[in-house]
Amino acid sequence: MAVALVESGVGHRVTRAETVDAAVLPEAEGMTLPRYYFDIEDETVVPDTEGRALPDRAAARIEALARGADFAADPEKLGGAGVVVVTVRDAPDRVVMRLRLVCQIEDLVD
């Protein structure tokens, strides 16, 4: 298996990383892709023990945003603070980026 960046939308923006058959990406044959881990923190930390092989940090950034948005979109998962943090690691103790999503709803009418 390999990873491709899927394009969609106006101007073909890259929106997510997707696992595809390696035969689709011949240049991926023989390559060892780096593995990234996506720990999700709301009121508790959910560590990623499996990780995901991705071609680079740009793909890891897209994956972090997708995972954070998916987590925040589920009202049963999102805690009272409304903050989701996705910490991205490329090794057990090496953090390479952190994504923070703040989800606030303000009732403006009494």
Question: How does pLDDT run across 37-57, given as a tens digit for each residue?
Answer: 999 998 889 999 999 999 999
Q: How far is CA 50 from CA 31, 62, 70, 91, in A?
A: 19, 18, 18, 11
Other Cβ atoms less than 10 A from the Cβ of 5: the count is 15
Per-residue confidence (pLDDT) for residue 25, from 0 to 100:
46
Integer CA distances (angstroms), 70 to 27, 40, 75, 94, 95, in order? 31, 11, 10, 24, 21
Is pTM beyond 0.95? Reply is: no
| pLDDT band for position 2 (cuts 50, 70, 90) | very low
User: Strands 13-20 and 35-41: what pairing?
Assistant: unpaired
What φ, ψ does residue 48 adopt, rounded to 5°? -90, 110
Band of residue 18 on the pLDDT scale cut at 50, 70, 90: low
Residue keyed to tokens 């303000």: 106
